[in-house]
Structures are given as C-alpha cells and as structure tokens.
Amino acid sequence: MALLALLLIPLLTAMVLLVATPTRYARGIALFSSLVSLALTLWLWSNYQGIPVQALDVEWATAWGLRFTLGYDGVGLLMLLLTALVYPFIIGAGYGERLQHPSMTNALLLFTQSFVMGVFTAQNLLLFYIFYELALLPVFFLLLYWGGERRRAITVRFFMYTLLGGLSLLFGAVYCLVQVEGFNGDLSALATLDLPYDTQVWLFWVLFLAFAIKLPIFPFHGWQPDTYTTAPVQGTMVLSAVMLKMGLYGTMRIVFPAVPLGVEHWRDTVIVLSLVGAIYAAVIAFRQSDLRRLIAYSSLSHVGVLCAGLFTCNRLGMTGSLYQAFAHAVLAIGMLYISGALKERVGSSEMAAMGGLKARVPRLAVLFMLVLVNAIGLPFTQSFVGEWLMFAGLWQVSTWLSLAAVSTIVLGAIYMLYAYQRVMLGTDKWEIEMSDVSLRDHLVLVPLVTLTFVLGVHPRPILDLVEGPVQVLLTSFPSLN
C-alpha cells in the first residue's frame, strides 16, 4: 500500500489545490506533499532487500491485457528516489518565479509527479503506456499557459513530437499483445516473447521511437531547445530532471527485454547517433547568448553520452548511464535554478546583459561554480563517476567511440567556463543593489551541491541499487558479453 500511497499523495494534493486551496497557501501545501513523498520513498529504499517487489496486482481489463500491477526493482526504485528527491526543489523554485495562479501551476506539477511515479512502478505494458501519456498532459498545459513568447507554436511542436512517439509506443504494445500468444502484458514476461529476428529489427524502432523523442537524442531533438527555453523554470526542471528519465527507463524496461536481437542489430547505429548529437549540441552551445538555451544544449549533449552508455549493453556502460541519470537530475535542477535566480536579479537570461556579477553576488558566484564543476565532471563529483563508467563501457565497444564521448566533456568544460566568465567575471558595471544568496537560495543550492560531492566520493548506495537489475538484463545479450 505504500507504493499506491506514493501515487495518491501528489494526485490527491493536486486535486485539493485545484478546488479548495487559497492561493497564498498553494506553494506551501505542494512543498509539504513533495516532502511526504520523499520521506515515503526513503522508507521504501531503507526496506529494499535487493529483489524485485510486486506491491499491488488488481484485475482491471484482463481481456485487453491490462492489469493494475505496481512494483519495482533497483532501477525503478532509483527512478522513484530521483523523482521524489528533486520535486521539493522544483516546488521551491516556484517561490522565485512567482507565476500567476500558483494553485493551478503547483497542481499541474503534482499531477505530473503522480503520473511519473506511475511510469516507474507500472508492471503492465498498457498501464505503463497510460501513465506515460498522462504524464505529458500537465506539462502541455504548463507550456501553453505559462510559457514565454511563441509558446503556442512551441507547444504545438512539443505536442506533435510526443504524439508521434506515443502512437508508435501504443502500436508496438498492441502488436506484442495481439501477435504473441500467451503474452498477458506483464513487463516481466517481455523477455520471453521470442519474436523472429526480422520482426525484432523493425519493432525496435517502433518501441524505441517514443523514448528517443523523450530523452531526446539526435535527430529526434527538434522540440527540446525551444521548449526548455520557453517553459517556466519549474516546467523545464520537470522535463530535464524527471521526464527525460522516462525515456531511459522505458528503453531499459521495455525495449531491451522485448527485442534484444533488434537492440544488437541497431546498437552501433544508436550509439553513433547519440554521440553525433552530443558533439553537435556541445558545438552549438558555444554559439548561445541565452543562459537557459545554453543549458538546454548542454543537457542535450549530456543525454547523448548517457544514451550511448546505455546502448553499450555491457555492465560498465549501463551502470554508468543509470548513475549519470541521477547525477544529471541534480545538475539540471542546480543549473536551471541558478539561471532563474540570475534572471530574477538582472531581468534577463541573456549573458550579454550580465557580466561582472561576482562583485555584486559573490556567494551566488561560488555556488554557481560548485554546480559547474559537476557539469564539467571533475573528480569527486557525481558526474565524474557516471561519465567514466560510461567511457569505460564505450571503450569495450570501440576506442574511437569512447574518445568521441570524452571530447564532449572537454567541449562542455570549455563552454561552461566561458559562460561563467561572461556572467560572473569582468568589470562591475552595475549601479543597482542586488541581493546575494537568500535563505531560499541556500535551501535549494546547498543541499544539491552537498549531494553532488557526497555521492561523488561515495557512489556505492546508488550503484548497489542498479547493479543487480543490470546483470539480469545483460542475460538478454549473450553475444555482446
């Protein structure tokens, strides 16, 4: 029942916010709800014994292959922990952004949290699809009503991409249910489908397309830069820190076990596409004048390497990819929060409008640099652990692919430090008074920075969660290991 409560707490809180909550209490209630969800997730983690857990199994529409089955293994628990951990920071960021109608915005954020938790706990293929699609709806409305300029055109593009991916995933799910005799939709049974080789080759792209768009990787990334820049900061945090991980999780949970021969056939293609996109995004990041847009391309570059690591289909690469997913969530929240804090003080996210801010906000400049070292992947940070595991995994596939991945980190270090120079260093040209780090800034940034270094030095708690499920999944690829 604890797992069901994890879905119901944000769902019911969101409903209360919509119908019965005064505006001035909305953020506080949403923050309290997210903290309760975090406490419950930590309790689940503390009681996890290293074996898959099935917490609920209720008949729903079994004739259609649909059961309300919830559970998790180490990877699912990692994603639950990631989501629960970042959500208080996402809600807290709203105190600075101060969007209109906070009851509505926080309700949409909590609806998304509930549905994303459903994605990470669903143990039935159609139930997974239902939660996957429901999670997109609140973000659609956040973009449509609280986005910036050109929000309608950008929201339509976002909708078209996600609609294409959703329809493709639905077709693949229905195909498996209809064409494979005896398959009842349980995710645990995907590894037993035993589809013909030719079928797996084309079905791979039918299933993977939705997740390739969600991550996104090149060339399915067209919706991402404008959406990340236009969405309110909280919306971008949800997309980058939480919903991106749905693509990673779905690939591991559905694509790999269902079509292992298709994965082996297309593995090198996906790795090359991912790394081409990562290098392309890193190069494009140099040309950005808007800090939010630079963060968008930086995220795209990081995700390309993350996907390449996943598709190595070996222990080091896959473990590193999952670890880096957690690190990326912490990094994304920190970078986006700082960009919002700077815009709050300066009135713009254009780096040309900044410069010399270190003299006015010295403590914020220090926190900005501490977040940047995680983005660069310096030793003793979370990103260092994940990246070098992925590089080692890619090295086992190809030396050149590993070196290509390393080049994205070098490029990332250059454009990130250049961005810091443009924003914080230079002549103090400001004549207005600026507040330095507020209590809210401390409450968001200090825990994130602390987590970055604690898990950079002691990554074992996260690695212990994922190593078992990764070993099980690797049995699907005997010819690659």
The whole-angstrom separation of Cα 103 and Cα 352 is: 35
State phi, psi for 72 to the nearest 5 degrees.
-165, 155
Share of the chain above pLDDT 70, in %: 94
The answer, yes or no, to whether the previous bond of 219 is cis (omega within 30 of 0) is yes
| Burial tier of 368 (Cβ tally within 10 Å: 0-12, 13-18, 19+) | buried
Residue-wise DSSP of 382-449 = HHHHHHHHHHHHHHHH-HHHHHHHHHHHHHHHHHHHHHHHHHHSS-----S----S-HHHHHHHHHHH
* Residue burial 252-287, b: 16+ Cβ < 10 Å; e: rest: bbbbbbbbbbbbbbbbeebbbbbbbbbbbbbebbee
**Tell me, what's the pLDDT at 431?**
64
Share of the chain above pLDDT 90, in %: 48
Mean pLDDT of 385-389: 92
The whole-angstrom separation of Cα 286 and Cα 319 is: 30
* Strand partners of residue 61: 66
CA distances in angstroms from 427 to 34, 351, 360, 387, listed in the order given = 41, 14, 11, 35
- Report which of 410, 450, 216 is spatially closest to residue 330, judged by C-alpha positions: 450
CA distances in angstroms from 67 to 70, 130, 134, 444, listed in the order given = 9, 12, 17, 39
Beta carbons of 106 and 91 less than 8 angstroms apart: yes
- Report which of 153, 154, 266, 157 is spatially closest to residue 208, judged by C-alpha positions: 266
The whole-angstrom separation of Cα 230 and Cα 227 is: 5
Which range has the worst mean pLDDT, 7-11, 165-169, 428-432?
428-432
pLDDT beyond 90 at 323: yes
Beta carbons of 304 and 217 less than 8 angstroms apart: yes
**Between these two residues, 321 and 429, which has the higher pLDDT value?**
321
**Tell me, what's the pLDDT at 189?**
84
Tell me the per-residue pLDDT of 98-141, one tens digit each, with 9 for 90 and over: 666 778 888 999 999 999 999 999 998 989 999 999 998 998 88
pLDDT beyond 90 at 349: no
What's 94's DSSP letter?
H
CA distances in angstroms from 320 to 27, 312, 326, 382, listed in the order given = 35, 10, 10, 11
What's 255's DSSP letter?
I
pLDDT beyond 80 at 153: yes
Straight-line distance from the first to the last Cα atom of the chain, in angstroms, rounded to the nearest whole number: 39
Tell me the per-residue pLDDT of 276-304, one tens digit each, with 9 for 90 and over: 999 999 999 988 888 889 999 999 999 99
pLDDT class for 355, splitting at 50, 70, 90?
confident
**Tell me, what's the pLDDT at 61?**
66
Give the number of other CB atoms < 10 A from CB of residue 2: 12
**Tell me, what's the pLDDT at 400?**
92
The whole-angstrom separation of Cα 403 and Cα 276 is: 12
Tell me the per-residue pLDDT of 38-80, one tens digit each, with 9 for 90 and over: 999 999 998 888 888 877 777 776 666 677 889 999 999 999 9
Name the residue with tokens 């815009």: 343
**Tell me, what's the pLDDT at 481?**
59
Give the highest mean pLDDT range of 134-148, 396-410, 466-480. Answer: 396-410
Q: In whole numbers, what is the pLDDT of the chain averaged over residues?
A: 87
The whole-angstrom separation of Cα 393 and Cα 477 is: 15
| Residues 6 or more apart in contact with residue 346 via CB below 8 angstroms | 353, 354, 357
pLDDT class for 478, splitting at 50, 70, 90?
low
The whole-angstrom separation of Cα 448 and Cα 450 is: 5
pLDDT beyond 80 at 407: yes
**Tell me, what's the pLDDT at 389?**
94
